[in-house]
Structure 1
């Protein structure tokens, strides 16, 4: 994405630089974010291991790094409709500046997300429907809204030559599913989940536990696109109570609310550019 700041013409409105839309948050938003993050960080550092162990013992599905898609019947629905989903991604999310970098939406991802190289077009985010984006992808939105325990759904767009360093997810209470939409074939595009190397195929689903350390490489000259789904792990108590409580805290936190605000700001900026 190029820089788009500056005046279009004499007397015209200022067009914000889309690359730094969240780089200099207002004092109010920055203070709200800082008030919310200590709790999340504290929970993550001091209790995440305990929480994850309790959730694992309550899991109704495997705790392996990579799970069997047959344990999640709804993934068949995604595979059967993958071309329609891909068409919406190509028409909407890959058009112009429609999809911001993940680090723009969530500044906490800046440590792992290269600016402009890992972009995202959110349809759902941490239990919140992003109405404007969902309405532009009606078929995809209708499909993902049938997924039990849907937490997030977005088009994940990885530029050529990108490496996402080793990292892990927030809670074992969530599981991740990728639906391959555009997978370059002129090199190697892959992900390591714990000690497993996996690769995407167009029209196929991959389900994994992102609390295992994982990293991604796009060693091709093409762009990789997947529909990324996060959904609640099927659980019995006490793990279900722990996971539900933690997710309620995260969803209400400034950490998530700031990301929602950034998506709205980005969409408003894109409208000004008539993209």
Structure 2
């Protein structure tokens, strides 16, 4: 089974490399309009959504995309087998694993195994979900989703259909065959038309959640002094070896919003050459949760600026922010001292406090503003999979899907986008 998993992983990337005429987009249902790779590069985000009325994701984007094929006919045939096997054979030839096997024999062996895995996985709940795509088993089908049932079956061989029921619902939504539940559609504060990654069955939601429910929030608050000191140390080393400022406007929305981020984690994993030795406690605490496929790090909000109203399109993630540097109160028109920095999520408005966490659901529309005339606002920002609602297995499967999708996108040349952002 390990051999099968390794082969399928290589196959997944190989097939994308051999079908590069696809236009790279986010993991979103076909009905959602998403940027091309060129537009994504321009907006400096691997998973950036196409800027609309509510430019999404708190500037972070991050969803499941379905590449849209061009008019050019695919050379993959119905399932991409010919190019897939060819790519695998080339890979095997380079590795020279066994000189005694002819290419014809290896090709036959690989194709038989892939066909066998595909046949078995097609009967799983993930296989049945993928089969609901109107493009299933046609040249127009995104090969990522076509291979996903086999990938999950080999990576998680003991997972039952019951275990993966909600994951299958997420897959159906991503390929345009699923629907958003009524409790989301009927909530005026959650713009359901902006969802680009959605898992059904997570139950009722609320704008702000009690941070005491999570050990993450407790650890951050208990270590505020250390984390604050580590932030100051990072400020001293804010420029990388090439002289680039580690604080960047990571999306198009942030350029005009006065919000810059020192990114510690990108798409759920560490950043090459980042000085983690300067922030060991911060890093350890952040890695205690399943960091989501967006951006986690220190956010700075300049005086007299804010993030405009928007919503993030992923209901599988929660956001935690701890106040690192909160500007002092200001005097309003009535002569009252009031907090200078706020965030509104849905109908509720909260204020940051140093050493305290805010926990909220960004599928609700939200906005921020720092009204102080001279002082900036700094928070530690962490996007993570919803451990309050999702099972550990569901989270592991979703992390795997996101990781594989990123590999697919890199195979189509989107890796340079990540380098640009970071």
- Shared fold, TM over 0.5: yes
Q: CA RMSD in A?
A: 3.4
Matched with 1:233 is 386
Cα deviation, 1:56-81, whole Å, max 9, x if unaligned, reads: 5235xx61111111221221111011
Are 1:126 and 1:256, in contact at CA under 8 Å, matched by a contact in 2?
Answer: no
SS in 2 for 1:79: helix
SS in 1 for 2:247: coil
Judged with a 3 Å threshold, the aligned counterparts in structure 2 of structure 1 residues 240 and 150 are, in CA distance, closer, same or farther, namely closer
Are 1:135 and 1:141, in contact at CA under 8 Å, matched by a contact in 2?
Answer: no
- Asked if 1:182 is matched to 2:325, the reply is yes
- Asked if 1:261 is matched to 2:419, the reply is yes
Higher strand share: 1
Q: Structure 1 residue 100: deviation in Å?
A: 3.0
SS in 1 for 2:265: strand
Structure 1, unpaired ranges of 5+: 1-31, 104-108, 265-275
Are 2:247 and 2:263, in contact at CA under 8 Å, matched by a contact in 1?
Answer: no
Judged with a 3 Å threshold, the aligned counterparts in structure 2 of structure 1 residues 41 and 135 are, in CA distance, closer, same or farther, namely farther
Q: Distance in 2 between matches of 1:89 and 1:51?
A: 40
SS in 1 for 2:219: helix
SS in 1 for 2:233: helix
Q: Structure 1 residue 198: deviation in Å?
A: 0.8
Matched with 2:202 is 58
Map 1:139-150 onto structure 2 (within 5 A).
Answer: 139-147=281-289, 149-150=290-291
SS in 2 for 1:119: strand
Are 2:325 and 2:379, in contact at CA under 8 Å, matched by a contact in 1?
Answer: yes
Judged with a 3 Å threshold, the aligned counterparts in structure 2 of structure 1 residues 40 and 76 are, in CA distance, closer, same or farther, namely same
State which drifts further: 164-173 or 231-240: 231-240
The structure, 1 or 2, with the larger RCO (C-alpha pairs under 8 Å, 6+ apart) is 1
Q: 1:222 aligns with which of 375, 386, 392?
A: 375
Are 1:56 and 1:63, in contact at CA under 8 Å, matched by a contact in 2?
Answer: no
TM-score (norm 2): 0.46
Are 1:182 and 1:202, in contact at CA under 8 Å, matched by a contact in 2?
Answer: yes
Cα deviation, 1:102-133, whole Å, max 9, x if unaligned, reads: 24xxxxx31x2135821111111121211432
Q: Structure 1 residue 92: deviation in Å?
A: 1.3
- Asked if 1:119 is matched to 2:260, the reply is yes
Map 1:85-96 onto structure 2 (within 5 A).
Answer: 85-93=227-235
Count matched residues: 223
Cα deviation, 1:229-274, whole Å, max 9, x if unaligned, reads: 011013159976995576446644459845531244xxxxxxxxxx
Map 1:122-137 onto structure 2 (within 5 A).
Answer: 122-133=263-274, 134-137=276-279
Are 1:93 and 1:155, in contact at CA under 8 Å, matched by a contact in 2?
Answer: no
Q: Distance in 2 between matches of 1:186 and 1:68?
A: 24
Q: Structure 1 residue 38: deviation in Å?
A: 5.9
Are 1:82 and 1:203, in contact at CA under 8 Å, matched by a contact in 2?
Answer: yes
Map 1:41-56 onto structure 2 (within 5 A).
Answer: 42=30, 44=32, 47=173, 50=179, 55=199
Structure 2, unpaired ranges of 5+: 1-19, 34-65, 67-172, 185-197, 240-244, 331-339
Matched with 1:5 is none
Q: Distance in 2 between matches of 1:43 and 1:245?
A: 24
Q: Distance in 1 between matches of 2:402 and 2:420?
A: 20
Judged with a 3 Å threshold, the aligned counterparts in structure 2 of structure 1 residues 86 and 238 are, in CA distance, closer, same or farther, namely closer
Matched with 1:22 is none
Q: Structure 1 residue 43: deviation in Å?
A: 6.6
TM-score (norm 1): 0.68
